[in-house]
Structure 1
Amino acid sequence: MAKILILGAGAMGSAFSVPSLERQHEVIIAGTHLEDAFIDEIKNNNNFHPSLKLHLSEKTNIIKYMNLSKELKKNPDLIVLGVNSKGINWVVDQLSDILNDSTLPPILMLTKGLSIYENKYELLVDKLERLLISKGYKNINISAVGGPCLAIGLANKVHTSVIFANKNLETVGWLKDILTTDYYHPSISNDIIGVEVCAAIKNIFSMVIGFSKGLYNETVEDKLKENNYLNTSASLISQSLCEMELFVNFL
């Protein structure tokens, strides 16, 4: 059994607690300084999570920001980041203020997106590592998760396949071993750039592919549009894969 500390009480962080608890791990969800009222709402409604539209397990331990320091000092086996991309700086500040040791436990990032640093694209895992190094941390071990994985689906135990990525395959192998369930199906990769980039930009291409129904000539009947858009959709899927490959190679 591992001790897992999830930072962020939002939809994705809370959903991640479901397979973690399924594997009998000790799971603590720690809210940010902005989530105290949100946590009160959850606890006052029998652990009903308003974003996920369901009751979290009674075993789910959700704590407020003021208790984060105590939990971090208990040496969790894994820290999971469930904050949004703007919260990464906040996470680094909390870790550096609370943990004086230069070594951190493994970190798993649920956060998706790209950042800009010195007028260049920067992966969020690279941003996190850069900020932690600036605080004096060494032997930093960060893994990333690639989807697609909708929080509400995972929370309802819908079959979900994800990729755990880390240059160190031993770490993601361990994560796979401790987090796999009958419905949560991780695979592993050491291509962290490819996984992070594709996870960040896939939704752009998903929307483009979804536009395929609207690319018919305006004179075409709606029934024909409904049943015969797949040629266009397939073309857009092919083009999307090519552009994703170009973007990955660029980074």
Structure 2
Amino acid sequence: MRKKGRILMDCITLKNVKKDFITGKGDKVAALGNVNLSVPESEFVCILGPSGCGKSTLLRIIAGLESATEGEVIYRGKPITGAHKEIGMVFQNYSLMPWLNVRDNIALGLDFAGIGKKERLERAEYYMEMIHMQEFAKAFPYELSGGMQQRVAIARALANDPDVLLMDEPFGALDAYTRIVLQQELLSIWEKHKKTILFVTHSVDEAIYLADRVIFMAPKPSRIEKEFLIDMPRIRQRNNPRYGELTEEMLALFEKH
């Protein structure tokens, strides 16, 4: 893939990835069926599809939180065999520690990594400023709105400076206005740091607004059915005719399944 006049190397590669689960009755259920995907460095990819198509399972396998039944996930030429410090993840349910304030939640991963207190605090301050949460540094999660908690979760993932950021429907539980605001903030962060992002969503609008490329996953069997290159400049305008065309194409795939 070319971007801004240069050829980018693949950051994440999936080769024939399959995932089966065994039910309590001993039946085998295919959660993923033969997924192949290459993601160049700095690309923003949205993974779109109906419930039950394996989007979250795929993300957890890339994160090293689950293992594939068959196939492999490769990060910069080396197979992923478990959790990787260069791959961060943001979940839908925020996953903040309720006994830690905003500053300490952001710095938590740095503490686990053995980073000194001075550097931890400096990084926490930097990312608090980035997400506009400086005045809430001493607030606890229960004192924050859902959107504010998700800001903190994103900042915590970024504070560890991962190469790849995996996001599993991070804005799914938010109201429409907060969701749009955080989409804009996420794009601003991505433009500045150029992380490779894989972002799971059910929302066609969100996928078109955010992504360089949208991967549509279909269920039964779970697979990549179609890829869309989002050939519109940012900041994207929803009244652009191309935006409407892409929306219709993606919604037609949902109706099909």
Same fold (TM over 0.5): no
Bigger strand share: 2
Report which of the two structures shows the higher radius of gyration computed on alpha carbons. 1
Bigger helix share: 1
TM-score between the two structures when normalised by the length of structure 2: 0.29
* RCO higher in structure (CA 8 A, sep ≥6): 2
